[in-house]
Amino acid sequence: MGRAILLGHAGEYLNTSYLTPYLDSFQPNFTNGVNFAIIGSATLPKYVPFSLDVQVLQFKRFYNRSIQFKSKGQVDFENALYTIDIGQNDLSEAFNDLSYTEVVDKIPSFISEIKDAMWGINLVGGKNFWVHNTGPLGCLPQKLGTRKTNATDFDQFGCIKSLNEAAKLFNTKLNDLCQELRSQMKNSTIVYVDMYSIKYELIANSSSYGFKKPLMSCCGYGGEPYNYDSNITCRNKGFSLCEQGSEYISWDGVHYTEAANAIVASKIISTKYATPPLEFNYFCNKQVK
């Protein structure tokens, strides 16, 4: 639930097929798992397509339907790995209308929705969770190109400090939740992955990875410094496209390029940023023991 592109890279590492979207109506194949992530989804507001609680409802419907066909083949929800990557859109949307203090005050409500989602999965047998925290919001070209700022608002790498501080506060609360649930969910394994550190390090040391434009989108409008215009976004009439996407971290001002995602995925798999530091294939090996 949440972002899925990075899971594609992880699937390649495990030599497994990509996860099929839940809403795929053309001969879907869910034998290797299912992807409930939807672009633009958030934890709140509730009951809006496709908020986190709606994704959980979709999962429960999928679960119930699968159980009906259990006699025809193996359905193993207990040993499945449930990945959660959500929260960035909540923070991003909140900053469009609210002050820093007001955004921070809303963070517990975002975390509460994630907690409810994890318990909802656990109650039908799910016990293995892979939870990503959120990245440096203040480094996204979308935010850099649309917010009113002055020179003191930026850190040494050109990112907006207040947005990144809010992201870090969200991550602290999310880490606390993971620690809390480890003690409450019997026989569960909850891995917390520090995506913020992975992505911020990528931006801070972008040149060492071969990136020349760490804060500029490849696909967008407006040119330097961010190539982002909320009125002419990527693939809308008038947009421009960079010649070498491999030199950019940001694809469209929000999402990462394939080159950047490949590096992020490699760092996720390294276990350096995971708590506890379990390898991704731990859950595969666990099932066959």
| pLDDT greater than 60 at residue 133 | yes
Q: Which residue has the higher pLDDT, 56 or 70?
A: 56
How much is the average pLDDT of 271-277?
96
How high does pLDDT run on average in the chain? 90
- Cβ 191 vs Cβ 278: under 8 Å: yes
How much is the average pLDDT of 68-81?
73
Nearest-CA neighbor of 88 among 253, 220, 224, 282? 253
Domain ranges of the chain: 5-202
How much is the average pLDDT of 259-282?
92
The β-bridge partners of 20 are: 34
Res 72: pLDDT = 54
| pLDDT greater than 80 at residue 165 | yes
CA 171 – CA 238 distance, rounded (Å): 37
Res 2: pLDDT = 38
Res 79: pLDDT = 87
- 3-class SS letters over 221-287: CCCCCCCCCCCCCCCCCCCEECCCHHHEEECCCCCECHHHHHHHHHHHHCCCCEECCCCCCHHHHHH
- For residue 99, the tally of other CB atoms under 10 A from its CB is 11
Q: What share of the chain is helix, strand, coil (3-state, %, to 5)?
A: 45, 15, 40
Res 65: pLDDT = 84
Query: What is the pTM for the complete model shown?
Result: 0.90
CA 153 – CA 159 distance, rounded (Å): 8
Q: pLDDT by residue (tens digit) across 1-29?
A: 435 555 665 666 556 667 777 777 667 77
Res 5: pLDDT = 56
Backbone angles phi, psi at 176, to 5 degrees: -60, -40
Q: Which two tokens stand for residue 93?
A: 């949307």
| pLDDT greater than 60 at residue 287 | no
Res 34: pLDDT = 85
How much is the average pLDDT of 200-219?
97
CA 236 – CA 77 distance, rounded (Å): 41
Handedness of CA 14, 77, 121, 26 (dihedral sign): positive
